[in-house]
Structure 1
């Protein structure tokens, strides 16, 4: 229902090498957002930030990963993205699953179904390849993320804790 209404206005396509600056910008915005909603999150350093272009370049070339961009067709600009990575771990009961690494929707485009649209598209891609399990992490106090992931069928099962000892 929402997806068919969104499709004429928005399109989704696989990210390419040409999109690396957009992916980096959106990932940095995601990081800033996470740090804003929860100041206790461990922050990345400049080395990590400087390594993002290489990270996304490797991701775009990796057949086990998928980066998707959401485009506003009228404005001809990227307004959202998601990154999925196939994980193969023979030590796990479910040996093949997808880790959703990054999801970002520009602030002016939120609450329009874009996140659901792009995440569902990512999950469809992997489901067609036999993957049925998807994982992701989000920051505590990110209420938008909490409600979005719940609607999409994700349930929190683990918490990550940080202690600073002086």
Structure 2
């Protein structure tokens, strides 16, 4: 059991196939949050939404991926999730790194250290496998994400641009 900065007792564990509905719920909330932060983000369609359960089921079954869930121990409910995926690319100088794909913390648990505990646990588990390089993307104008990633020592190094040309 872990304690957050605010004193909330949490449990972090690996996600299982039984957790797919929780992962889907949190990913949909993450998508809405990103779209709210920056309305220009490219939006997913209904086909993507319908495919999320299979996507997470496949991801959990993949040995290169790791999903973690954080539970409020007192309430017994999932309050956060993160997904990491090991990338192996022989054409890169760093040939093995982890792409952190999804990170979500329910609103009532933000700014309490839940995200830090969860991401640090993900990093720790991959470091045990010899991985020490981690990458992620976040939406410009998502001020919470920007502050969180800077606090966790992630440094922005690239911007992605979108143009809709008539």
Q: Which residue of 2 aligns with 1:165?
A: 165
Aligned length: 164
Q: Match of 1:120, SS?
A: helix
Q: Provide structure 2 residue ranges, at least 5 long, that are not aligned to the other structure.
A: none
Give yes or no for contact 2:2–2:10 (8 Å, CA) kept in 1. no
Match of 1:75 in 2: 75
Q: Paired residue for 1:128? A: 128
- What is the Cα-based RMSD across aligned positions, in Å? 1.3
Corresponding residue for 2:3? 5
Counterpart for residue 36 of structure 1 = 36
Scaled by the length of structure 1, the TM-score of the pair is: 0.96
**Structure 1, gaps ≥5 residues long:** none
The equivalent of 1:53 in structure 2 is: 53
Shift of 1:161: 0.3
1:98 aligns with 2:98: yes
User: 2 CA distance for matches of 1:126 and 1:56?
Assistant: 19
- Find the aligned partners of 1:48 and 1:133 in 2 and give their Cα distance: 29
Mapped contact 2:2–2:9 kept (Cα < 8 A): no
How far is the alpha carbon of 1:4 from its aligned partner? Answer: 5.3
C-alpha separation between the residues in 1 aligned to 2:2 and 2:62? 30
Cα 1:8–1:32 shift into 2, 3 Å: closer
TM-fit CA distance, 1:165? 1.1
